[in-house]
Amino acid sequence: MGNILVLYDSKTGYTAKMARHVAEGACAVPGVALRLKSVDEAGRDDILWADGLAVGSPTNLGVMSWKMKRFWDDVSDGVWGKVDGKIACAFSSSGGWGGGSELTCMALLTVLMNFGFLVFGVTDYVGRQFTLHYGAVAAGEPRDAKEIAACRRLGKRLAQWVAGYIDGRREALPGPIDTRGE
Ligand SMILES: Cc1cc2nc3c(=O)[nH]c(=O)nc-3n(C[C@H](O)[C@H](O)[C@H](O)COP(=O)(O)O)c2cc1C
């Protein structure tokens, strides 16, 4: 059984919607146990429980929200040094394209790397000229099919890596990468 935590912060609900789509994607892989929690609900035990983590934040001034940063500051005692080798990825909703959502993904990945997580991006195209190399991104609410597909693909890929590399189920690893888009 691979344990997946989808952890998010969200002020107006858009990153929360992305988180739900990421969770749907993860659940498409058999044998996943899933927790979907906001930074207000999650704690140290959730991080220790998870084999794989998808972390989402609204883009705030080009980086993660203060609540997401505070979450990691607060849990670092008791978590740091105990999660090395777990797998993690990022997602973000910003006000608009070019508003810094990929920078926010990178900021999230930086924090996760500091804890020793193995972080990844996704090379797949999930729509015309639409990919998630640094994590799933959306402008505002994830409405477009391709934005929703990016979230789902991120969650699915996380669950596939966890199943294949942590849970030892090699048959769950992804097949050929979709570089054409749907
Ligand atoms: C304090 C603050 C800073 C923000 N900074 C940015 C920004 O740098 N770039 C951007 O595109 N949007 C920015 N936004 C807009 C949010 O990223 C955007 O509304 C997002 O969709 C909100 O996600 P949420 O519904 O999960 O809170 C900012 C919003 C707030 C409240």
Q: Which domain holds residue 75?
A: 2-172
The span from the CA of 154 to the CA of 51, in Å, is 15
136 and 104 Cβ atoms separated by less than 8 Å: no
The CATH number of residue 46's host domain is 3.40.50.360
Is the whole-model pTM more than 0.95?
yes
| Residue 39 pLDDT | 98
> Which of ligand 1's atoms lies nearest the C-alpha of 11?
27
Give, for 87, the enclosing helix (H) or strand (E): strand 87-94
Of ligand 1's listed atoms, the one at least distance from the Cα of 138 is 21
Distance between Cα 62 and ligand 1 center (Å): 9
- Give residue-wise pLDDT tens across range 53-75: 999 999 999 999 999 999 999 99
pLDDT band at 182 (very low <50, low <70, confident <90, very high): low
Ligand 1 centre to CA of 58 (Å) is: 6
Domain for residue 177, yes or no? no
Q: Is residue 49 part of a domain?
A: yes
DSSP 8-state assignment for residue 172: G
Conformational region of residue 58, where left means phi above 0, alpha means psi within -120 to 50, and beta covers everything else: beta
What confidence score (pLDDT) does residue 1 get? 77
Q: What angle do CA 100, 46, 89 make, to 5 degrees?
A: 30
Number of domains in the chain: 1
Q: Using the predicted structure, report yes or no on whether residue 175 has a pLDDT greater than 60.
A: yes
Determine, yes or no, domain membership for 46: yes
- Domain membership flag for residue 180: no
